[in-house]
Amino acid sequence: MAALDDVEGGVEETAPVWAVFGDLMSGLLGAFVLILVGVLVVQMDLMANLQSEVKKRQMEEQRRMALEKALAIPLKTGRITLNNGRIGISGSVLFPVNSEQLRPEGRQLLKSLLPPLVVYLGERDEMLMVSGFTDDKAIHSNNQHFEDNLELSAQRALTVTRALIDEGMPSSRVFAAAFGAEQPAASNTDEHGRALNRRVEMAPVPKASGVSSVSSAKPSANE
């Protein structure tokens, strides 16, 4: 009888150890499941971000190809350049030196660009930002028209913008911006580089960005 009591006591003393071990294993299993779920969630987020980035790049490539197709003729003749969606026109093609008066051949070039641009902007509900740039050489003091290069670039951008509107571009689709000697396309250490920096660029931009840029560009344009 005493031996039986000893056995029962041993069972009673041993049972809690197995219960604790079982609870520990359950806790570890639960933690493992939570970690696994967390890893899966992170992987799903990474996959979603990757797919979004791939889709974005595909859309940008399609957008670039569509713009190239729309401007195939002037691109082929070398009258304009296209780099990352920005249409570049040499300042010498559009204007005499230190002038905002549009050359007749410059106006004709803008007129030829208008139909494909209007279609392109309309299909994507975008706006056209017309940006003026100059080299870093100071304007001669005897030039009474412009205070500095920023003002010259602003007036040239406005001239191109108004010419596009005169030729049929909806005014709600185009706006002007001025950068002066900022954001040079080449070095200003020689005449070739300075000639490349004297330019006007036109870039399709999303409508929301365009509306925001209009406000920031107005003070420069009116100086």
What structural domains does the chain harbor? 77-221 (3.30.1330.60)
110-152 tens-digit pLDDT: 999 999 899 889 888 999 999 999 999 887 655 557 888 999 9
CA–CA separation, 159 and 146 (whole Å): 14
Could you tell me whether strands 174-180 and 126-133 are parallel, antiparallel, or unpaired per DSSP bridges?
Answer: parallel
From residue 214, alpha-carbon distances to 3, 110, 177 in Å are 97, 21, 8
CA–CA separation, 9 and 94 (whole Å): 104
3-state secondary structure of 83: strand
pLDDT exceeds cutoff 50 at 211: no
Q: Which residue has the higher pLDDT, 48 or 6?
A: 48
CA–CA separation, 100 and 155 (whole Å): 6
CA–CA separation, 45 and 18 (whole Å): 40
Highest average pLDDT, of 20-34, 37-51, 168-182, 201-215, comes from 168-182
| Least confident window among 7-11, 66-70, 115-119, 144-148 | 7-11
pLDDT exceeds cutoff 80 at 3: no
CB atoms within 10 A of CB 137: 14
Q: How big is the CA angle at 102 (ends 153 and 216), to the nearest 5 degrees?
A: 30
CB atoms within 10 A of CB 117: 21
Average pLDDT of the segment spanning 61-70: 76
Residue 82 bridge partners (DSSP) = 87
User: Is this structure's pTM higher than 0.85?
Assistant: no
The two tokens of residue 198 are 């004297």
CA–CA separation, 71 and 87 (whole Å): 9
